Amino acid sequence: MIRTGTFVFAVALDATAGDPAWAPHPVRAIGAAASLCDDAARLLRIRELPVAGRVAGTITAAAIVAATYAVSVRALSGVHLSGRILEVMAAGSTLAMRSLLSEAAAVEQALRSGDLQRARLRVARIVGRDTQALNETEISRATIETLAESFCDGVVAPMCYLLLGGAPLALAYKAVNTLDSIVGHIEPPYREFGWFAARLDDFANYVPARLSACAIALAAQFRHGAGIRSLKTSLRDAPLHRSPNAGWPEAAMAGSLGVRLGGTNVYDGRAVNCAHLGAEFPNPDARDVRTAMNLVTLASSLFVAAALAVLLVRDAQA
């Protein structure tokens, strides 16, 4: 488990500095390794082979996650001040609250100014779907869905793993999450090669996704008394989502805001029909993006407080 002081400084580092583009980041190295293995599998033409593709993908994912953990343990084993500082930086790099809110704010500001083209360009930075033809409603929906899902991936899940195993385990989680974003797709050419990475991400996010829904509902209750509606919507609609985990925070956000999420998305020119979350509610707009940002901020603060309470109780019992 992470030291209390390290946790506090890591959260403060993320809240104040975020992930500046010029700074080295472990996820970039993990992504480069995953892309290199993907290129090798493509050149060998094994990505879509039913057996060889899955074996190669399983070895790739397991090796990258294990290497991330092992290297992190080795690098952060120092007891001197430099080792403590490096541990804070490593732990802070697993969190993404500041960068998530900054990206969402850029989209919201473009929408409020009526600059749809700029809003499309900004939302393309945080979603995987095609954005060239999105209108205000679809841009707002995409941003809110990303806020909800990334609240799990970038705040709740890494904090859970920081509590369980410190920075090395949280970095291993980020390796799992990065692999899933690069190769963990059910569409060709990753159906076989990315199978294990996708299943590993499903396992790693199972509990954090449901904790995220609870945190969003609690924040909605504190902010405007919509906690019960949020919980009801998540319990009813989360199983409708294509992902076993992403539906929980997204459905909770739909209920918190009273807006309809989900529907048809276009990926590389191909339309994918998804179930609606909160189908009885109206479509979202830019005002709902701002409210979603406020909810994620409050939910993050509540989760930090809960994590800190766990660490303080541990310290008191030590």
Write phi, then psi, for 265 (nearest 5 degrees).
-120, 155
User: Minimal CA–CA distance to 27: which of 101, 126, 94?
Assistant: 94
- Amino acid of residue 163: L
Residues whose CB is less than 8 angstroms from the CB of residue 54 and which lie 6 or more positions away in sequence, other chains included: 192, 193, 195, 196
Q: How far apart are CA 152 and CA 238, in angstroms?
A: 14
Mean pLDDT of the chain: 93
Tell me the angle at which helices 136-151 and 286-317 cross, rounded to the nearest 10 degrees. Answer: 0
How many domains does the chain contain in total? 1
pLDDT at 91: 95
Q: How far is CA 158 from CA 23, 130, 164, 315, in A?
A: 20, 28, 10, 21
The tens-digit pLDDT sequence of the chain (318 residues) is 899 999 999 999 999 988 777 677 888 899 999 999 989 988 888 888 889 999 999 999 999 999 999 999 998 887 677 778 999 999 999 999 999 999 999 999 999 999 999 999 999 999 989 999 999 999 999 999 999 999 999 999 999 999 999 999 999 999 999 999 998 887 788 889 999 999 999 999 999 999 999 999 999 999 999 999 999 999 999 999 999 999 999 999 999 999 999 999 988 888 888 899 999 999 999 999 999 999 999 999 999 999 999 999 999 997
pLDDT at 19: 79
Residue 93 belongs to domain spanning? 4-317
pLDDT at 79: 63
